[in-house]
């Protein structure tokens, strides 16, 4: 009797283990490079798909690194979602390795209307910061939805329609808010060039950036700062903006060097925060930035 009971218990345990393992393996795995895209993908797939986001909250997408275990999961994913357009500089070798091993890859930059950097120092390179224009993110969602549907996630279509509506609402809110800023005050100065898409869509001028090139890995020279001070004085901007993923020391130094009253306001630009921060998801990040830009530049 005891032997029969032991056999029965062993069989039950194996059955339970098999079910648990099967449930986990049955869910497709989507690996996403940036946390902004990771948030969007999570909204689109719901619980039907496992989403692994590589970039930690508050990290710099140009330079963050991943572990060997994360690189291995990239190569075993059912789908890899990347920003593209040169954003993930520190991750490119892993993206290339996954693609060479046949991992299906969706590059969000392929779905948008690409703009060049406004900075001449970027030598006409493509600007990867398309998410500052919600209309561009809508284009990404439209292109990504059928790819996710192809993974066999039944709720993607419904989730995508709902999230697309949220993006359209966000777009309308930003249009209304920015329309209230006088045209002569729509000038943006930041750590580096992030707002080209927002500027193009909503009628802003990008006066300059503390870091003149297209990457946070660059550093400004003394002449760069001097030229930017002149541009700020000429434009008469009351506020310059520091990015949450970059130290604002240089921006504050610039404000002091300009020898005039300039407010420094933090924006969330290249990374979401954790749940306790001010930008735990893409929609919140964009609404917070819209309010801060509007408050900073309005009379």
Q: Is the pLDDT of residue 4 over 80?
A: no
Q: Could you tell me if 144 and 82 are in contact, meaning their C-beta atoms sit under 8 angstroms apart? A: no
Q: Is the pLDDT of residue 228 over 90?
A: no
- Alpha carbon distances (Å) from 238 to 16, 174, 178: 64, 20, 16
- pLDDT value at residue 230: 76
Average pLDDT of the chain, as a whole number: 84
- pLDDT value at residue 117: 83
The model's pLDDT over 101-150, given as tens digits with 9 standing for 90+, comes to 999 999 999 999 999 986 555 566 899 999 999 999 999 999 999 999 99
H/E segment holding residue 240: strand 239-243
> Among candidates 197, 195, 217, 221, which has minimal Cα distance to 208?
195
The model's pLDDT over 155-208, given as tens digits with 9 standing for 90+, comes to 999 999 999 999 999 999 999 999 999 999 999 887 768 899 999 999 999 887
Q: Is the pLDDT of residue 246 over 60?
A: no
Q: Is the pLDDT of residue 60 over 60?
A: yes
Structure-block tokens of residue 73? 């999961």
Q: Whole-model pTM?
A: 0.84
Q: Could you tell me if 197 and 178 are in contact, meaning their C-beta atoms sit under 8 angstroms apart? A: no
> Among candidates 273, 243, 244, 281, which has minimal Cα distance to 37?
281
């Amino acid at each position: 009797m005891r032997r029969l009971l032991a056999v029965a218990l062993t069989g039950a345990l194996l059955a339970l283990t098999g079910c648990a393992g099967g449930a986990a393996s049955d869910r497709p795995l989507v690996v996403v490079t940036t946390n902004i895209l990771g948030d969007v993908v999570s909204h689109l797939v719901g619980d039907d798909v496992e989403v692994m986001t590589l970039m930690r909250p508050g990290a710099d997408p140009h330079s963050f690194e991943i572990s060997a275990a994360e690189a291995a999961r990239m190569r075993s994913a059912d789908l890899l979602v990347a920003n593209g357009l040169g954003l993930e500089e520190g991750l490119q070798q892993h993206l290339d390795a996954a693609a060479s091993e046949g991992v299906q890859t969706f590059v969000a930059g392929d779905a948008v209307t690409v703009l060049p950097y406004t900075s001449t120092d970027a030598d006409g390179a493509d600007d990867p910061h398309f998410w500052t224009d919600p209309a561009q993110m809508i284009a990404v969602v439209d292109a990504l939805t059928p790819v996710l549907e192809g993974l066999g996630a039944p709720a993607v279509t419904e989730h995508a329609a709902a999230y697309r509506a949220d993006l359209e609402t966000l777009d309308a809110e930003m249009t209304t808010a920015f329309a209230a800023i006088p045209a002569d005050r729509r000038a943006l100065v930041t750590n580096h060039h992030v707002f080209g898409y927002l500027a193009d869509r909503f009628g802003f001028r990008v006066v300059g950036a503390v870091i003149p090139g297209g990457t946070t890995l660059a550093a400004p020279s003394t002449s760069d700062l001097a030229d930017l001070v002149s541009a700020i004085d000429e434009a008469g901007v009351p506020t310059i903006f520091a990015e949450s993923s970059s130290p604002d020391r240089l921006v504050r130094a610039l404000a002091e060097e300009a020898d005039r009253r300039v407010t420094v306001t933090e924006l969330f630009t290249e990374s979401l925060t954790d749940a306790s921060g001010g930008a735990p998801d893409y929609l919140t990040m964009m609404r917070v930035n819209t309010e801060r830009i509007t408050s900073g530049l309005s009379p």
